[in-house]
Amino acid sequence: MSNSLNPAYNRDNISMSVIRRLPRYYRYLNELQINGISKISSKELSQTMGFTASQIRQDFNCFGGFGQQGYGYNVSQLRDAIGEILDVGANKKCIMIGAGNLGKALLSINFERLGFNLLKVFDNDPDIIGTEIKNFKISSCEDLADFCTNQKIEMAIICVPSSAVKELANTLYENNVKAFWNFSHFDISLIYSDVKEESVHLNDSLMALGFMI
Amino acid sequence: MSNSLNPAYNRDNISMSVIRRLPRYYRYLNELQINGISKISSKELSQTMGFTASQIRQDFNCFGGFGQQGYGYNVSQLRDAIGEILDVGANKKCIMIGAGNLGKALLSINFERLGFNLLKVFDNDPDIIGTEIKNFKISSCEDLADFCTNQKIEMAIICVPSSAVKELANTLYENNVKAFWNFSHFDISLIYSDVKEESVHLNDSLMALGFMI
DNA sequence: TAGATTGTTAATCGATTAACAATC
DNA sequence: TAGATTGTTAATCGATTAACAATC
């Protein structure tokens, strides 16, 4: 059995449910590798992660045969394969708009490791423009359009108030930015149907917890 | 048709899929109310929100008959009903642990409006303890256990590194905190099966976007 | 009454789990 | 060879969509 990506595998027919589990697998496998564990079975993994062994095998089989019957999965091989699927080496060019508290907090993320290359941070507050945060000199939003076009920016991190997002999304879209990590409540994909959008709704998350309690 | 909560409605048999949509309904209905719109049909709502009208009616019917045939839904009545379901008036006592960049950013959230009462913020960095952020004087983690027990804290917001969460969760659990808004990757519910946990995995979210691009 | 839209049941679709033959 | 564990198919479960009778 080869331990390479299944040639029949097609990004388009992988369900969102599976995709959302991939980063989690990647994280756990990384951890295992760091701890020097070279082999793991779906059963062992299920106990650590809280998924069923069956689901784990199903998930891995969307992509190809990484396992070996009677043995299990080779940790580093599997980790690398999932990393490849998630495109963590892609270094996709991105920018951040909004350098308020949330934007600042997100600058602690190790973007490189997750497949992104954060090039610039923008804000429209004159008091913030020009200041430096985590090695980023904050730029004015006036320069946004040109920068996106010239640098061929692929993704934008939106950390501005919802009320400002409609206009902002328009500028970005016209300058060919079609992917968004969106922390506002304004739904960009409802207006531009061909964008990739991942929204983080912190308020919604907290309210869901409120319900559960 | 009464416009009250369905007496047969039971929190326990509402699926997670529905629960996760509730805050979103609440938000949109709030918006409509603010804009002075008093009536809306499932069809109109479906166009604004991007859900199907059928799903919207199914969802609302988990809880009771808020609508009126041939007319639609009364916006403010529906908003209030969903708010009640989400328990936004509960003012549940909570604390935050970790006053780093992320913790600071989260202090901008209007907790009251979402059903929570944030009482105190803790950290274990001597340089931070005693300083003031957004009207919160940061307390030492040494006081954590007593505070939780004395104040009957219901929920904790975890903004510390994953490596510190195991011990922290233990302290909290032993002092009867059984709900967590967890920004770390350490899975508390895997250890204490009776806790309510809502995890926000920012890295996973970003990686999922990486896949989609 | 006619038109509109809900509430609700039935049909479809998709995701998870179970089972087991293949095979290392 | 015997034991273990995958890869994969079939069964189950749950969520979404469609349809329409009830009714305002």
pLDDT tens-place string over residues B32-73: 999 999 999 999 999 999 999 999 999 998 887 789 999 999
pLDDT at B197: 97
Name the residue among B105, B138, B102 with its Cα closest to residue B123. B138
Give the Cα separation of B46 and B56 in Å (integer). Answer: 7
- Residue range A4-44, pLDDT digits in tens: 555 556 777 789 999 999 999 999 999 999 999 999 999 99
Q: What is the mean pLDDT of chain A?
A: 93
The beta-carbon neighbor of A207 closest among B107, B115, B200 is: B115
Nearest to B104 among A20, A101, A109 (CB): A101
pLDDT value, residue B183: 98
pLDDT range class, residue B5, cuts 50, 70, 90 = low
- SS3 at position A94: strand
Q: Tell me the two tokens of residue A206.
A: 């907290």
CA-to-CA distance for B205 and A169, rounded, in angstroms? 20
Q: What angle do CA B120, B123, B129 make, to 5 degrees?
A: 90
At residue A59, the pLDDT reads 95
Residue nearest to nucleotide D23 (CA to C1'): B69
Indicate the burial class of B140 (C-beta count within 10 angstroms; 0-12, 13-18, 19 or more). Answer: middle
Q: What is the mean pLDDT of residues B136-151?
A: 97
Is residue B204's pLDDT more than 80?
A: yes
pLDDT of residue B179 exceeding 50, the answer is yes
Phi, psi of B31 (to 5 degrees): -55, -50
The residue whose two tokens read 């256990």 is B145
Average pLDDT over residues A77-90: 93
> Average pLDDT in the A98-115 region?
97
In this model, does residue A208 exceed pLDDT 60? yes
**Residue percentage of chain B with pLDDT more than 70:** 96
State residue A4's pLDDT score.
53
Query: For position B133, what pLDDT does the model report?
Result: 95
**What confidence category does residue B180 fall into, taking pLDDT thresholds of 50, 70 and 90?**
very high
Q: Which nucleotides of D are covered by protein (CB under 7 A)?
A: 2-9, 14-19, 22-24
Specify the amino acid at residue B22.
L
User: Residue A3: its pLDDT value, please?
Assistant: 45
Give the pLDDT score at B13.
74
Give residue-wise pLDDT tens across range B82-141: 999 999 999 999 999 999 999 999 999 999 999 999 999 999 999 999 999 999 999 999
Q: Which pLDDT belongs to residue A66?
A: 83
* Chain B residues in contact with A202 (beta carbon < 8 A): 106, 109, 200
Shortest CA to C1' contact from B65: nucleotide: C7
In eight-state DSSP terms, residue A179 is E
> For A200-212, what is the mean pLDDT?
97
Asked whether the predicted pLDDT for residue A56 surpasses 50, the reply is yes
Q: What is the pLDDT of residue A2?
A: 37
The residue assigned the tokens 């300058």 is A175
Cβ–Cβ below 8 Å for B181 and A206: yes
Average pLDDT, chain B: 93
Enumerate the residues of chain A whose CB falls inside 8 A of the CB of residue B177. Answer: none
Check residues A63 and A80 and name the one with the higher pLDDT.
Answer: A80
pLDDT computed for residue A5 by the predictor: 58
> Which residue in the set A196, A200, A203 is minimally distant from B213, CB to CB?
A196
Instruction: Answer yes or no: is pLDDT of B164 > 60.
Output: yes
Residue B211 to residue A22, Cβ atoms within 8 A: yes
d(CA B111, CA B101): 18
Eight-state DSSP code of residue B64: -
At residue A203 the predicted structure's pLDDT band, cuts being 50, 70 and 90, is very high
Nearest residue to B145 via CA among B165, B164, B169, B161: B169
Mean pLDDT of all residues in B22-26: 97
The burial class, CB within 10 Å (0-12 / 13-18 / 19+), for B176 is exposed
Separation between Cα atoms, residue A49 and residue A53, nearest integer Å: 10
Residue type, B54: S
CA distances from B120 to A116, B90, B130 (A): 35, 18, 12
Q: Is the CB of B57 within 7 Å of strand D?
A: yes
Hey, what are B46's tokens?
């479906």
Report the pLDDT averaged over residues A92-112: 97
Touching check for A34 and chain B: CB below 8 Å? Answer: no
- Beta strands (DSSP E) in A12-154 are 39-40, 67-68, 72-74, 92-97, 116-123, 132-133, 136-137, 139-140
pLDDT tens figures, A140-187: 999 999 999 999 999 999 999 999 999 999 999 999 999 999 999 999
Chain mean position to CA A146: 25
Residue B145: per-residue pLDDT = 97
Q: What is the pTM of this model?
A: 0.93
